[in-house]
Amino acid sequence: MAQLCYENTFITVKDCIRAGRRSRSMDLPRVSTWRNCPEVLYVATLEQRAWQTRVAGARVPAQAVAVPAAAEATRADEAAAPEAASEASPAPAAVLALDKTKSSGNAGHPELCFKPCLFLRIGECPNGEECKFCHLPHPSPAKLDKRMRETFRGLPQAEVLALLLPHLRAKNVTGAGRLLAEMEARLASLPHASCSMLPPRIVQLKRALGRLSFRQLMLLSPEGTHAQAELEHLRRLTA
């Protein structure tokens, strides 16, 4: 109902009266809540879907080229004895669950393996053992935030190596002794530079680096493509 009132010596009509204080907007949900929602998980799997599409487009199926005679004989035998195939006992659930953890990305787990497979978080990985991502359990993913990454990129090479080497040694990765010795020799050849960061920032950055895997630390190093080749060599040693 309209109401007459005085405002600044003028008579005005108010259609409604505002009651109560203005309501506050709701806080954002916790990261652990929205990270596991279906929409976020689906978007996270798009990277692996794109990789799967590239691999499928670059590879010609063997069945499309030729069908061996032995394969035809095997198919005929299977068609002649359907009852024998149906009587085969199914594999135990434990064996099936174990097979899901196999993938080529598992090599060197947990320090040298690739990122965790996101398909497993929403069900089953369609790539199976050919998946290039790790199928073994991982703790919560650790990474540097945007501010830390920008700070790290602005550091000189000597300071970067001095920060990374203690954490790389602490990982005790098999076969990494020669690589670490090369990095130490490179650090010794560089001119010494005083630290450009404040002590609290150094402590915060060192704590974050301690949560990264050996592979993540090496990818932060100034070694570039040489680091990629060395990581692949170490993964083959531990496979």
CA dihedral 42, 208, 33, 96 (to 10 degrees): 50
C-alpha 38 chain-centroid distance: 17
Q: What is the C-alpha separation between 28 and 47, in angstroms, rounded?
A: 26
Q: Quick check: 97 pLDDT over 50?
A: no
Q: Which two tokens stand for residue 6?
A: 């005085």
Q: Quick check: 82 pLDDT over 50?
A: no
Q: Which two tokens stand for residue 102?
A: 């196999």
Of residues 127 and 196, the one with the higher pLDDT is 127
Q: Which helix (H) or strand (E) holds 14?
A: strand 10-14
Q: What is the C-alpha separation between 180 and 231, in angstroms, rounded?
A: 12
Q: Which stretch of 50-54, 84-88, 118-122, 139-143 has the lowest confidence by average pLDDT?
A: 84-88
Half-sphere exposure (CA, 13 Å, Cβ side) for 95? 4
Q: What's the pLDDT at 150?
A: 86
Burial of 204 (0-12, 13-18, 19+ CB in 10 A): middle
Rounded to 5 degrees, what are φ and ψ at 101? Answer: -85, -5
Q: Quick check: 73 pLDDT over 60?
A: no
Rounded to 5 degrees, what are φ and ψ at 11? Answer: -90, 125
Q: What's the pLDDT at 139?
A: 80
3-state secondary structure of 47: helix
Q: Quick check: 123 pLDDT over 70?
A: yes
Q: Which stretch of 27-41, 127-141, 142-156 has the lowest confidence by average pLDDT?
A: 27-41
Compute the average pLDDT of residues 179-188. 92
Q: Which stretch of 6-15, 70-79, 174-183, 187-196 has the lowest confidence by average pLDDT?
A: 70-79
Q: Which stretch of 43-57, 103-117, 170-184, 207-221 has the lowest confidence by average pLDDT?
A: 43-57
Compute the average pLDDT of residues 138-142. 77
3-state secondary structure of 212: coil
Q: Write the single-letter amino acid at 35.
A: R
